[in-house]
Amino acid sequence: MSDSTDNKDNKKKKNNNMDQNDNPDDTVPSSMVTTMKQHITPYLPPPVVAAMAKIDPPLEPFLGPEPSMTLIGTLGLGFIVWKVLSLLLGGGGGTSTSSGSAIQDDDQDDATNPSSKNKSQRSFDSTLVFCGPSLAGKTSMFYKLLYPQRPFSRMGTVQSLSSNVGYKQHSDVQWRYLDVPGHWGADKLVSTVLKQQQNMVQRIVLVVDSTQPVSKAADYLYALLQYQQQQQQQASKSLTVLIACHKAKAPKAKNFRRIKLNLRNELERLEKLSSQPTKIQDWEDALSSFEFCSSSVDPPLLQDIESFCESGKLSK
């Protein structure tokens, strides 16, 4: 007797379940979305949770259960699809201006690609390169020199992704100013800019942050010395190099004599570690082939840099 009652109860339960699961396709996604919502809700800010609770009831007839989650999911999916498409189509949303442009991708860096047919490049006679470790102040200096009249607002601490190019006429010579991003490092500067464009590059400003240790700047200087030695062997045109001890007016800035001394010590260390040593004996003498100056954009101290850009020499 009790067995048959149990069987009847079981059948009833089974039927009830069948009723609820008449359309299993409807139930599974809604419960998934609900579970997802339960997991996400504790991490959402209270105003968002309140807004979701407010918009859910009126939208439910149109979007089905948990409409706010459906909306968030659709928007998220749309964003991912947009990102993937823009990556595949090589977009990236970069901007560039005519005479002080930033180029987004190393491989598309027309400034350092002599065979580039980019229409925004103008003709020029010589190139002046701003190089040095990241965040030393190259881009700030580049813009201050090209646009001195522009009211100065200190740039945020943002690493350049690729080179900036600008043009300036000194006497009858059209100069191209090239601001090379610090993240490239010294080796890429030499291989991509100096070796590939050796006939165009005549002046280099190595920007050194006076408030920081000099080891990264010494890597650049060592690479430049090695490059100069190779050039002398090939009897090619020599480069004029200025070492700008930048941010000179910042509170913890070292003066340029101290920086010169620190650089000499670092160069001696690098020579011992190098697989292609320069065999330089007298580092004092080697450093005397470079000009040194102090510089700053905030507050401005740019006479020596301006003079070097114009004439290749420092102001008296």
Ligand X SMILES: Nc1nc2c(ncn2[C@@H]2O[C@H](COP(=O)(O)OP(=O)(O)OP(=O)(O)O)[C@@H](O)[C@H]2O)c(=O)[nH]1
Among 101, 112, 127, 139, binds Mg ion (CB under 5 A): 139
For residue 217, the minimal CB distance to ligand X (Å) is 11
Q: If binding is defined by CB under 6 A, does position 182 make contact with ligand X?
A: yes
Pick between residue 51 and residue 155 the one whose CB is nearest to Mg ion. Answer: 155
CB of 166 to ligand X, least distance (A): 13
Contact segment (CB under 6 A) with ligand X among 39-47, 105-113, 175-183, 219-227 equals 175-183
Toward ligand X, which CB reaches closer, 69 or 214? 214
Question: By CB under 6 A, how many residues form the interface with ligand X?
Answer: 23
Site for ligand X in 201-240 (CB under 6 A): 207
Q: Decide: is 298 part of the binding site for ligand X (CB under 6 A).
A: yes
Q: Considering only residues 250, 269, 288, 313, which one is a binding residue for ligand X as defined by CB under 6 A?
A: 250
Report if residue 297 touches ligand X, rule: CB under 6 A. yes
Per DSSP, the residues of the chain read -HHHHHHHHHHHHHHHHHHHTSSHHHHHHHHHHHHHHHHHGGGS-HHHHHHHHHHHHHHHHHH-SSHHHHHHHHHHHHHHHHHHHHHHTT-------SSSEE---GGG-GGG-TT---TTPPP-SEEEEEE-STTSSHHHHHHHHH-TTSPP-PPPS---SS-EEEEEEETTEEEEEEE--GGGHHHHIIIIIITTTTTTEEEEEEEEETTS-SHHHHHHHHHHHHHHHHHHHTTPPPPEEEEEEESTTSTTPPPHHHHHHHHHHHHHHHHHH-SS----S-HHHHHTTSEEEE-EETTEE-HHHHHHHHHSS---
According to CB under 6 A, which one of 181, 194, 202, 263 is a site residue for ligand X? Answer: 181
CB closer to Mg ion, 160 vs 202: 160
Does residue 113 interact with Mg ion by CB under 5 A?
no
Residue 228 binds which entry of ligand X, Mg ion, none, CB below 5-8 Å type-dependent: none
> Does the footprint of ligand X cover residue 294 (CB under 6 A)?
no
Q: Exactly one of 112, 160, 163, 226 binds ligand X (CB under 6 A); which one?
A: 160
161: its two tokens: 């992704």
Report the interface residues with Mg ion, using CB under 5 A. 139, 160
Report the interface residues with ligand X, using CB under 6 A. 134-140, 154-157, 159-160, 181-183, 207, 246-247, 250, 296-298
